[in-house]
Amino acid sequence: MAAVRSAIFVVWMYGLMAVMGVACLPALMGPRSWTKACVRAYMALVFGGLKLICGVDYEVRGLEHKPGAGALVASKHQSMFETLAFWKILDDPAIILKKELSYLPFFGWYAMKLKNIKVDRAAASKALRDMLKQARERAGEGRQVVIFPQGTRLEPGAEDSYKPGVAGLYSAMKVPCTPVALNSGLHWPPRGFVRRPGTIVIEFLPAIEPGLPRDEFMARLESRIETASNALLPAANPDRKDAA
């Protein structure tokens, strides 16, 4: 049954993307605020469908730590969910995305109109310079720059290194960095399409102050994100319904 519900949701999500993508094409010709309104409407319908069809809801914790204008946000990455959800949770995010996503029909068009930050991973040092330049510009516009410091989606509990790009942003932007823990992969897997009923938790953690040495910053960031994310897994909470 979960597979059938998930298949219906996938049709809903991508069908809606195509329909609204075409219907909102005039917004791409106007100010960014028009596109932003279209994307937020799309997100509301997608997450409404996720709850109704698959029984997957979400909650946001640590709202007292949610960053305001001109901030850096470093988040755990377990699924496509958070790539979409930050557009609903944050005021005006600029999400760092791999360049290939900008070529996708509909998604890429709107992502670029919203001035997200695309990164060409094959360009090495040039990619880092371009990312830093765009990030400073977006922060200067009062936006929240969002990076997934491990660079890829991982299964809940899986380990991978934290890439140096986040340290470069932290050093260049000279603003606090807000870590984000989550458990989205329990209900919306990194790969595959079966969504499992339950509640996704996104948790904003206390910000790391600017100006720390690189190694100390990276150690604090990884410790905070990994500790808090692991605490959201069923093994750490045997009384949760998700642990069954």
Three state DSSP letters for 22-89: HHCHHHHCCCHHHHHHHHHHHHHHHHHHHHHHHCEEEEEECHHHCCCCCEEEEECCCCHHHHHHHHHH
Instruction: For residue 187, give its domain range.
Output: 57-243
Angle at 52 between CA 180 and CA 56, to 5 degrees: 30
Q: What is the pLDDT of residue 239?
A: 55
Angle at 73 between CA 158 and CA 112, to 5 degrees: 100
Q: What is the pLDDT of residues 18-50, one digit of tens each?
A: 999 999 999 999 999 999 999 999 999 999 999
Would 112 be classed as within a structural domain? yes
Would 116 be classed as within a structural domain? yes
Parallel/antiparallel/unpaired status of strands 198-204 and 177-182:
antiparallel
Question: Cα torsion for 219, 84, 112, 114, to the nearest 10°?
Answer: -100
- More confident site: 148 or 238: 148
Interval 125-140 mean pLDDT: 87
The number of folded domains in the chain is: 1
Would 5 be classed as within a structural domain? no
Would 11 be classed as within a structural domain? no
Would 215 be classed as within a structural domain? yes
Would 9 be classed as within a structural domain? no
Interval 82-102 mean pLDDT: 92
Would 23 be classed as within a structural domain? no
Q: What is the pLDDT of residue 244?
A: 37
Eight-state DSSP code of residue 100: G
* Sequence-ordered list of residues with C-beta below 8 angstroms from that of 37, at least 6 positions apart, any chain: 27
Would 51 be classed as within a structural domain? no
